[in-house]
A and B are shown apart, each in its own frame.
Chain A
Amino acid sequence: MNVEWYVVLSSLLFAVGAMGILIRRSPIVILLCLELMLNAGNLALVAFSRMVGNQEGQVFALIVMVVAACEVVVGLGLIVAIFRRRLPLDVDELRELRG
């Protein structure tokens, strides 16, 4: 398969993730859609690394995975904190920063 197939697939996955962030209102699902977008970026990185025959893009993808794991941990911690305070888990109602 040519590299362009992988790149087009990755842009399609990125668009689906972005669409999910626009549609959904539950913060958990928005985090899941963020994962979709990060993974689409990873797929493009690995595809380009295969295209130039250089492994450095794969290292970049691994670092992106680490950053995604950190983002998930902090985001889920925030969701648990919001839930503990009995606030609604809905990004349209959580529009104030005041605690």
Chain B
Amino acid sequence: MEAVLFFGAALGALGGAVGVVALRDPFYGVLALIVHLFSLAVLFLLLASAFVAAAQVVVYAGAVMVLYVFVVAYVGGDQESAWEPIPGQRLLAPLLGAALFVELSIAVLGSSLSALGSHGPHVGPGFGDPAAIGLLLLEKFLLPFEASSILLLLAAVGAVVLAARRREEEGSA
């Protein structure tokens, strides 16, 4: 049962990723990324991390993707020209990607981590649930937690400053 779920979610994640890369219209790319994110949430659940899976669905597939959809709708879809600036780019890039995959796999599987071939230790039902993660965030990782809140505030202010309509632009446009 676990294997079926794993391979189904892995296929979904991989299909979504390939869809993001291959689909020409950015709008379909965003939809493929949503499929990818839901599949990843299933994988997180299989890895006994319920809170990360929930955050993945709510924050990523919910909020961030809505932002993408709005911007794609605002900017407009298919604008990528067929013109190819570097000769052979479309042939070379998959080769380099495959090389990267082989390299990463060798690096990880050859790392002599003995627990890599196991399921991991047995964990209780409380592993990775919101209470445990919240306790960690508010006790051991309080400083990173607060720093990330400041980072979010900075990003929101920065986005408003970047995307705001300026007076002189309105005058000329």
Contacts and interface: CB of A to CB of B under 8 A. Distances in A.
A, B in one complex: yes
25 contacts: A8-B105, A8-B109, A9-B43, A12-B14, A13-B14, A15-B104, A16-B18, A19-B94, A22-B92, A23-B93, A26-B79, A29-B20, A29-B21, A39-B36, A42-B40, A47-B47, A51-B118, A56-B141, A62-B55, A63-B148, A66-B151, A66-B152, A70-B154, A74-B155, A77-B163
Interface string B20-46: 110000100110010011001001101
A49 B49 contact: yes
A78 interface: yes
Contacts, number: 243
A20 to B, nearest CB: 4
B116 A4 contact: yes
Given A28-B72, A59-B141, A84-B169, A69 B152 contact: yes
B6 A29 contact: no
A13 B67 CA distance: 23
Contacts of A63: 141, 144, 148
For chain B, the bracket of interface size reads 35 or more
B116 A2 contact: yes
B125 interface: no
Contacts of B90: 23
Contacts of B36: 36, 39
B116 A19 contact: no
Contact of A36 (B17, B30, B93, B140): B17
A24 B14 contact: no
A47 B44 CA distance: 8
A13 B70 CA distance: 26
B136 A55 contact: yes
Given A2-B118, A47-B47, A76-B67, 4 more contacts: A43-B40, A51-B116, A70-B154, A77-B159
Nearest to B13: A13
Given A15-B97, A73-B155, A20 B21 contact: yes
